[in-house]
Amino acid sequence: MKILIYPNYEQMSVAAARFVADCILDKPRCVLGLATGETPIGLYAELARLHHEEGLDFSGVTTFNLDEYCDLPKEDSRSFHSFMWRHLFSHVNVDPRKVHTLKGTAPDLEEECRRYESLIKDTGGIDLQVLGIGVNGHIGFNEPGSPPDGRTRVVTLTAQTVEINRAKEKVESLPGRAVSMGIGTIMDAKQILLLAAGRSKADIVHRATRGPVTPSVPASILQNHANALFMLDLEAASLLETGFLNTPCAAGECTV
Ligand code: GLP
């Protein structure tokens, strides 16, 4: 596991976008796994800028989103489908036929999860999976206790996750169930890029990267991934080394 630390959220987001852009430049028909949440918003804004100002071409790219709430039509502004179009897809030249999100309103959710898994397989697998991290260590919607080899499935969210997301999104309510890629699905990605920013993530980043590998901290399982890169801002990295905040970062990034 490699960890890169940036002085602030903006620089972390620019570096993350450069990393994703390099993946697209290396392989124009690459398959990206994408995340929602506040953290990747800066990354998506920078990818949109790279598209407009530097011609970064998304036309060959296939995307799979990590998760989706159950029972929200995709047009609902709270759905992750809406989030992705708002923050990324409508700002780049992605081919809508190559954009995949889980359908949380599918009549047969088990079947929907199987469909998603085989679609990922049919495209050759995910080249680069972007992740955020919940304060309880969840990745996608794999809450603590999720099986390390789990596949895409219906999950029940903890009351804490629903409340945190509800408050962040400033909405009255959110469903308590979701469909999510499993940790096994995520671990199959060839490269992982996890982003974390802010003091509220410092404790869980420390546990995920320095603590034991355990299902009670789902992100810790990424320690077993051959190509996992964590990009952090200084605040999210603040518990990794005592006194780190007093250590200046050379050239905007440090490797731990
Ligand atoms: C959500 C998403 C995750 C995301 C996490 C952190 O519940 N399902 O994919 O990584 O919360 O979100 P944020 O970046 O807003 O802290």
Angle between helix axes 41-54 and 80-87 (nearest 10 degrees) is: 40
Instruction: Give the atom of ligand 1 at the shortest distance from the alpha carbon of 157.
Output: 7
Q: Give the type of residue at 217.
A: V
Least confident of 104-108, 191-195, 224-228, 252-256: 252-256
- State the pTM of this model: 0.95
Q: How confident is the model at residue 254 (pLDDT cuts 50, 70, 90)?
A: low
Task: Provide the angle, in degrees to the nearest 10, between the axes of the packed helices 9-26 and 41-54.
Answer: 50
Taking CA atoms, 252 is separated from 21, 50, 200, 231, in Å, by 19, 20, 22, 12
β-pairing verdict for 2-6 and 177-180: unpaired
Residue 195, beta-bridge partner list: 231
Structure tokens at 56: 């970064």
Phi, psi of 43 (to 5 degrees): -60, -45
Report the nearest-CA residue for atom 5 of ligand 1. Answer: 134
Catalytic: which of 51, 65, 67, 235? 67
Strand ranges, E, within 72-207: 99-100, 128-131, 153-156, 177-180, 191-196
State the Cα–Cα distance between residues 191 and 130, nearest whole angstrom.
9
Average pLDDT, whole number, for the chain? 94
- Parallel, antiparallel, or unpaired for β 177-180 and 67-69? antiparallel
- Of 39 and 246, more confident: 39
Per-residue pLDDT tens over the stretch 116-138? 999 999 999 999 999 999 999 99
Alpha carbons 21 and 44: distance in angstroms, whole number: 11
Q: Is the CB of 37 under 6 A from ligand 1?
A: yes
Whether the per-residue pLDDT at 164 is higher than 80: the answer is yes
User: Which residue is it, tokens 């990009």?
Assistant: 231
Contacts (Cβ under 8 Å, ≥6 apart) of 211: 217, 220
> Does the annotation mark 142 as catalytic?
no
Ligand 1 pocket member 38 (CB < 6 A):
yes
Give me 16's structure tokens. 């993350």
Whether 143 is catalytic: yes
pLDDT confidence band for 27 (50 / 70 / 90): very high
Residue nearest to atom 10 of ligand 1 (CA): 132
